[in-house]
Amino acid sequence: MAREIYAYRCRRCDTMHYPFRMVCSGCKQNDFFEFDTVPLPKNGKLLTFTKVYNLPAQYEVATLGLGIVELDNGMRMLGQIEIDDPKIGMPVKGSVEVVRKEPYDDYYGMVFRAA
C-alpha cells in the first residue's frame, strides 16, 4: 500500500489542518482528538523553493532542494524537491519517501518532482 501523509479534519467544523494540532484553529472547541484523518493530495503547484548548500549534520549530500507546495485542495506543505529548474507556480507531484535517515530510524516525508 502506498504511504500517505495525513491532514486532520475537525469533526465539528470541517477545518483541515496539517500538521496535527491538539485544538482546532477554526472552532477552537475540540474535545480530545476529534479529528478525522484524510490523506493529503499529492499534486499541487510550487509556491516557493530553495537549494540549500549548508546542510545540518546527518545529510551526506552536497545540496538539498526544499519547497513549499500549495496542494490541489488548497492546503500547503513543505517538502523536499527534486527539480532541475524550479519555477514559482510550476505544477508538481509528490511521493512519500525517506527524507531523513538516522541510526535505527528512517523518516518519511513528501518529495516533489515536476508534474
- Which parts of 80-99 interact with other proteins (CB under 8 A)? 80, 88, 99
Listed residue (28, 35, 29) closest to 14, CA to CA: 35
CB under 8 Å to 44, separation ≥6 — which residues? 69, 70, 71, 72, 91, 92, 94, 112
28 binds other proteins (CB under 8 A): no
13 binds other proteins (CB under 8 A): no
- Which parts of 39-78 interact with other proteins (CB under 8 A)? 47-59, 64, 66-68, 76-78
Size of the site for other proteins (CB under 8 A): 31
Assigned C-alpha cell, 67: 519547497
Other Cβ atoms within 10 Å of 25 Cβ, number: 11
- Which part of the chain contacts other proteins (CB under 8 A), choosing from 7-15, 17-25, 26-34? 17-25
Distance CA 83, CA 94 (A): 11
Interface with other proteins by CB under 8 A: which residues?
A: 17-20, 47-59, 64, 66-68, 76-80, 88, 99-100, 107, 109
